[in-house]
Structure 1
Amino acid sequence: MLLRLPTSVSEAQECLAEGAVPIGGATLLWATWQRDGFPEVAMSLREVPEANVLERTTVGGAVVLHRIDDRVPDALRLAAAQVGTGAVRRSATVGGNLVGSTLRCLLPAAIVLDARATVLEADGIRETDLSEVVAKRPVLLGLRWREPVASAFFKLAAEAGGPPPLVVAAAVHTGDGGNRRLRVAVRDGYDVLSGSATCTPDTAQTLHALRGTELIDLSSAAWDVVRSKVAALLA
């Protein structure tokens, strides 16, 4: 297998046009390749500057998870810190987690940050939403979001090899009119549900409005966790 390491977006586009397979951190691909065979040409974005940005409102797709620190909102920082083991976090990338993983541990955090994705294609780059990233699995160049007032992330403990643990991410944003909006995303099993509600002085009222969104499909046990974590954030 030939590994291409482009140093610019234009070089990366050329690699894609030539059929190179994007690999991210390859933590999820190696076993599959060993079983099914390696591609002739693979490509990593680890030398492309735009894919390695790490700032308060943006992160590159090639950023490895252990690099994600308090420069980003708490929801994303805590989500990255709880992916796999330390060895995995030193190799796994943002793009690999969101595009290549079935668990997508970073997805709830990205949803509550209202993130938009920049994706790389053979004929250029463009911005899209997270639903397309999940459905079409493009090459993720980076994410950009609005800085929240506050955010949080919670992941239930789980045994290795067992079912995916419940994940809850939440963020509060200030709208154009000055009102505040709560966004919540929950990974329950392999499904990710989300909802939003206007923040009111009455936390119970805010939670009641949130329960009436897509999150109404959560089990009672999962909703109890959501209610507890969201109430703590709003407090």
Structure 2
Amino acid sequence: MLLRLPTSVSEAQECMAEGAVPIGGATLVWAGWQRDGFPERAMSLRNLPAATVVEPEALGAAVVLHSIDDRVPEVLRRAAGSVGTGAVRRTATVGGNIVGSSLRCLLPAALVLDARATVLGPEGAYEADLAEVVAKRHLMIGLRWRTPTVSGYHKQPAAAGGPPPLVVATAVHADGEGRHQLRVAVREGYEVLSETTACDVDTDEVLHALERTDVGALPPAARDQVREQVAGILGSLPGR
């Protein structure tokens, strides 16, 4: 297997045109390759500058989860810290988790940040929403978002090898006029849903508004956890 390490977007495009398979941190593909055979060409973005940034409003797809620290919002940092074991987090990447994994632990965090992905296609790099990235399994270069006022992440404890644990991610953003929007994303099983509502009202009103969305169709235990997380994050808003 020939492993390519492009250092520019144009070089990464050339690798794609040659049929190189993106490997991320290889935590998800290695076992399959050992069983089914290795591809002729593979590609890692770990030497591509745009894919390795860790900034307050940007995160590269080739960043390993262990490297995600307090430079990014709390919701994303805590999501990364909840993935697997320390050994897994030292090799698994942002892009591999969101695009290559069926669990997608980082996806709820990215959704509540209203993040947009930069992806690489045959014609070059362009911006796409996360639903498109996940559905079409694009080659992701990185994520960008606006810094939230507050954010939070909760992942239920679960035994290794069992069903995916419930995840509730929350974030509050302020617009240019100081009005606040609450974003909530929930992973229940393998499905992820997200909703947005105004939150410059009483907490009970916010919760009632969420109940009228797809959040209201979640199982009772999941709805209880959403209510707890929403009440907590709204209670942490400055001046509330």
By the TM > 0.5 criterion, same fold? yes
Aligned to 2:52: 52
Aligned to 2:18: 18
Map 1:63-82 → 2, pairs under 5 A = 63-82=63-82
TM-score (norm 2): 0.96
Matched, 1:97 2:97: yes
* Deviation (angstroms), 1:122: 2.8
Q: Distance in 2 between the 1:9 and 1:197 partners?
A: 37
Q: Distance in 2 between the 1:123 and 1:206 partners?
A: 43
Contact in 2 for aligned 1:113/1:147 (Cα 8 Å): yes
Aligned to 2:196: 196
Q: Distance in 1 between the 2:136 and 2:100 partners?
A: 11
* Deviation (angstroms), 1:123: 2.2
Deviates more, 1:197-206 or 1:107-116: 197-206
Q: Distance in 2 between the 1:7 and 1:118 partners?
A: 16
* Deviation (angstroms), 1:212: 1.2
Map 1:1-235 → 2, pairs under 5 A = 1-235=1-235
Q: How many residues align?
A: 235
Q: Distance in 2 between the 1:45 and 1:193 partners?
A: 29
AA matched with 2:21: V
Contact in 2 for aligned 1:196/1:213 (Cα 8 Å): no
After TM superposition, the runs of 4+ consecutive aligned structure 1 residues lying more than 2 A away are: none
Structure 2 alignment gaps of length 5 or more: 236-240
TM-score (norm 1): 0.98
AA matched with 1:96: G
Contact in 2 for aligned 1:119/1:128 (Cα 8 Å): yes
Identity %: 67
* Deviation (angstroms), 1:232: 0.7
Structure 1 alignment gaps of length 5 or more: none
AA matched with 2:94: V
* Deviation (angstroms), 1:37: 1.0
Q: Distance in 1 between the 2:161 and 2:154 partners?
A: 19
Contact in 2 for aligned 1:185/1:194 (Cα 8 Å): yes
